Amino acid sequence: QPHLAEAGGGSVQPGGSLRLSCIVSGYNYQGPCMSWFRQAPGKEREGVAFIWPSGRIDLVDSVKGRFTASQDKDKKTLFLQMNSLQSEDTAMYYCAAGPSLYGDCSRARSGYTFWGQGTQVTVSS
């Protein structure tokens, strides 16, 4: 059974930074689509970053220029570097893995099969 484990969340003031990590085990890391999602209280879970099997990385517009997603395939680890954090970034952050379809990856929650337990990010003064 694949297992994803996030770490690195915490509480920071606006303008601060955090680096999230997600270790993947029990899964063929070379094949799937990987992603970061977040869910704020009372809101839908939304995608933040998407990583294709090819290595292509896409970020949603709301975090471009502030967040950077990366991966270490040898260590089967995803990273999400978050800079210039704002109160609107407060949420539970999840990493997820799912199948690619002819090399393409979904941006929808339904496209991801395996999820971590989440790590809380709180941005507040």
Q: Considering the chain, what percentage of its residues have pLDDT values greater than 70?
A: 97
Closest by CA position to 79, among listed 67, 89, 69: 69
Q: Give the per-residue pLDDT at 29.
A: 56
Say what the pLDDT of residue 107 is.
Answer: 94
* pLDDT on residue 103: 80
pLDDT, the chain, mean: 93
**At 98, which helix (H) or strand (E)?**
strand 91-98
Is the pLDDT at 27 greater than 80, yes or no? no
* SS3 at position 57: strand
Residue 97 near residue 2, CB atoms below 8 Å: yes
Report how far residue 121's alpha carbon sits from residue 75's, in angstroms, rounded to the nearest whole number: 24
Structure confidence at residue 28 as a pLDDT band (50, 70, 90): low
What string of DSSP letters covers 66-81? TEEEEEETTTTEEEEE
pLDDT, tens only, 64-77: 999 999 998 888 89
Question: CA–CA separation, 84 vs 78, rounded Å?
Answer: 20
